[in-house]
Structure 1
């Protein structure tokens, strides 16, 4: 559909829908409008709550090792169970949102996850904490894929890159506040109280989200549950020429990123660094660079094309991993900064590209991307513990670097697909101008 046709359409056109239930003539939300600002703010809050709740335990892994007498790899289960079950829940949430709607499901998921975080702080033992964290991952499954689908359905395609970048910036801000705040609160009180306080902040963010987010205008629910429809939608995306490459990039980039962050704490608490909880948590303020990088990468992708920015992001992330091999603390921190910038560039572009590349059933495409993304966090983040125990930081860096090299190869292939599509578009344009 021509962009001019989509501009300014109102609800009178919403009676006409396509095969997947979406309106045939969308009523796009344009950049610069009040609705665009409300959507951006609401999804920023959703990203903040999701990532602060999900990753708040990452700085606490050494404390769990000490308090519960578990190994570093076992302590990572507090995060791996959440991200692993989140990955599985995303598929169900993507299908469920087709029936019940996007907005209400995201709100219920945010509230449920915040309550589970509070329960984790109150859990009397290690297994109780793991159960609460597992349930938290299941609850959070109703946010990421549905948020991506909502943006792809409601925001005009020419503004989608920036909108997705702002959403990912909210993820980065939440990841930073969750990690930094948990460390500071732990030293002031205890890690249990810190988890409870963060759960309360998650509930407040959920209330702000539901107050700000407009109802969907370009979504028509499909009542009931039709397994054949969902299987057909997922199968179509997996058979696509480019989407599986985006899913692979999400898996590998997230796996490398979480591996470095999971075990950097163990490295920096040991000699010769000997950093405390607060000092280690302050390192996560480098997420500020991720906030800037994600929004900038989304805007650049709208202007320069997604392929070049995606390749640049993976190269920057790999350079960051290499820098962490430095012995000096300043070099290690610089490497984490560069890795963070590169990762959020990669994720912002890849996640936005999924919504553009999927012609129909965008919620299903987003759910597959995030399934791969969080499986990368869960599986590779835990496997990284074996590398840390077996070979120290050099082994961890080699493992993360290998994943980013594979992600770069996939990004190069996607760039080739993008250029081929551009050439086909140019040929169609030229032929349409011929007399």
Structure 2
């Protein structure tokens, strides 16, 4: 069967399913982000401890993606992704009934495991099913779903919590994701690649990872994923504490609406993905990091409006970078693309988990200036990796085109 090409009915049906899959992943992962101050007050925990509701989820997600990448070869990509969406959506509804913070953390940890069946497999599915000239656009579409999900989850949770409770918010989010899961199941075509009849041994699941960890280009992309994801999660984790406190004293509803700047990421992921086909990936990723660095520095301004502009600029740059870098993984990895993608997302969500948690220590010790300095240092390190990627591509030391 021919690969899916842009402009065909199959392209838009499949694209809509992947868009909603990306939507569900981010809405479920980051639903708790605007709730950190509420958790601190209700359960008596510190900002860094409250951030564990995301760090544990993304951490378990990162680890178990390595396993699901191998299982997808025998179970089938669509089957595993669909199961992941349904289980994660149902589990989010259950989380609404958590009796205490410990149970909440355990259930969020389990959520990371159940949702691990989608992100890396979706990236591999795109690389296998779509025509090479459409991959950049489709990955941009998937990441656009991520941005819309991240925005919707944060705004919906914040507003519902302000007028009702965070438990009602979780129930609504879980039900919405169940509806998206049904569409994904009905519309997404099965993978053209035949499933393996043999169940993979445990050792065989991890063996394909070794060549990827020796690939310098992939290592640079993995490092970028860790640094850039950690940067944006750190900013969003603790800006709520800043804006809810004096001199701003904003309500939870107003703070949650700030997350509407995620729409800039919806645009940039598709636009910069397409732009990379013309200007080259190195140029576009470098430009995206520059936007992020300028944006985080701007948040030091005292005006709430200027802070929002800075947050929007950082968000715009981040999702553009992620769209390009994630599709670049499939270029550097000539085989076992699902494993290469799972490693990329291991570092991506590892950055969310580790860097985001450490950011809480900077917030507690040095307030917002400490958070901005921390993020700025991460982004400068990201520039270094882009320069290295450019050298590897230019001098033929890897397989990835610049």
Deviation at 1:205, TM superposition (A): 0.7
Deviation at 1:227, TM superposition (A): 4.0
Within the candidate set 81, 87, 91, 2:56 is matched to: 81
Deviation at 1:357, TM superposition (A): 1.5
* 2: CA distance, partners of 1:130 / 1:422: 44
Deviation at 1:394, TM superposition (A): 0.6
Deviation at 1:237, TM superposition (A): 0.6
* 1: CA distance, partners of 2:17 / 2:399: 38
Within the candidate set 170, 182, 187, 1:195 is matched to: 170
Q: Does 1:357 align with 2:314?
A: no
Aligned position for 1:5: none
* 1: CA distance, partners of 2:26 / 2:399: 39
Aligned position for 2:17: 42
Using a 3 Å threshold, how does the CA distance of structure 1 residues 423 and 201 change in structure 2: closer, same or farther? closer
Q: Does 1:373 align with 2:343?
A: no
Q: Is the 8 A contact 2:282 2:386 kept in 1?
A: yes
Q: Does 1:66 align with 2:33?
A: no
Within the candidate set 125, 147, 150, 1:172 is matched to: 147
Deviation at 1:95, TM superposition (A): 1.1
Give the 3-state SS of the residue equivalent to 1:347 in structure 2: helix
Deviation at 1:230, TM superposition (A): 3.3
Deviation at 1:218, TM superposition (A): 3.4
Aligned position for 1:305: 280
For residues 368-390 of structure 1, give each alpha carbon's deviation from its aligned partner in whole angstroms, at most 9, with x where no partner exists.
Answer: 00000000000110100000000
Unaligned runs of 5+ in 1: 1-9, 11-26, 427-435
Using a 3 Å threshold, how does the CA distance of structure 1 residues 226 and 330 change in structure 2: closer, same or farther? same
* Superposed CA RMSD: 1.6
Aligned position for 1:334: 309
Aligned position for 1:3: none
Deviation at 1:419, TM superposition (A): 2.6
Aligned position for 1:110: 85
* 2: CA distance, partners of 1:389 / 1:78: 18
* 2: CA distance, partners of 1:349 / 1:258: 19
Give the 3-state SS of the residue equivalent to 2:117 in structure 1: coil
* 2: CA distance, partners of 1:180 / 1:104: 31
Aligned position for 1:407: 382
Q: Which has the higher mean CA deviation after the structures are superposed, 226-235 or 297-306?
A: 226-235
Q: Does 1:132 align with 2:107?
A: yes
Q: Does 1:283 align with 2:258?
A: yes
Deviation at 1:420, TM superposition (A): 3.0
Q: Is the 8 A contact 2:62 2:347 kept in 1?
A: yes
Q: Is the 8 A contact 1:159 1:302 kept in 2?
A: no
Q: Superposed, which structure 2 residues align to 1:378-397 within 5 Å?
A: 378-397=353-372
For residues 21-63 of structure 1, give each alpha carbon's deviation from its aligned partner in whole angstroms, at most 9, with x where no partner exists.
Answer: xxxxxx3111111111111100000011110011010000100
Q: Does 1:318 align with 2:318?
A: no
Aligned position for 1:122: 97
Give the 3-state SS of the residue equivalent to 2:190 in structure 1: coil
Unaligned runs of 5+ in 2: none
Using a 3 Å threshold, how does the CA distance of structure 1 residues 41 and 125 change in structure 2: closer, same or farther? same
* 2: CA distance, partners of 1:424 / 1:75: 42
Deviation at 1:222, TM superposition (A): 5.7
Using a 3 Å threshold, how does the CA distance of structure 1 residues 164 and 423 change in structure 2: closer, same or farther? closer
Using a 3 Å threshold, how does the CA distance of structure 1 residues 116 and 158 change in structure 2: closer, same or farther? same
Q: Does 1:145 align with 2:115?
A: no
Using a 3 Å threshold, how does the CA distance of structure 1 residues 99 and 338 change in structure 2: closer, same or farther? same
Deviation at 1:425, TM superposition (A): 11
* 2: CA distance, partners of 1:423 / 1:133: 39
For residues 367-426 of structure 1, give each alpha carbon's deviation from its aligned partner in whole angstroms, at most 9, with x where no partner exists.
Answer: 000000000000110100000000000100111111111111101111222333499999
Q: Is the 8 A contact 1:157 1:356 kept in 2?
A: no
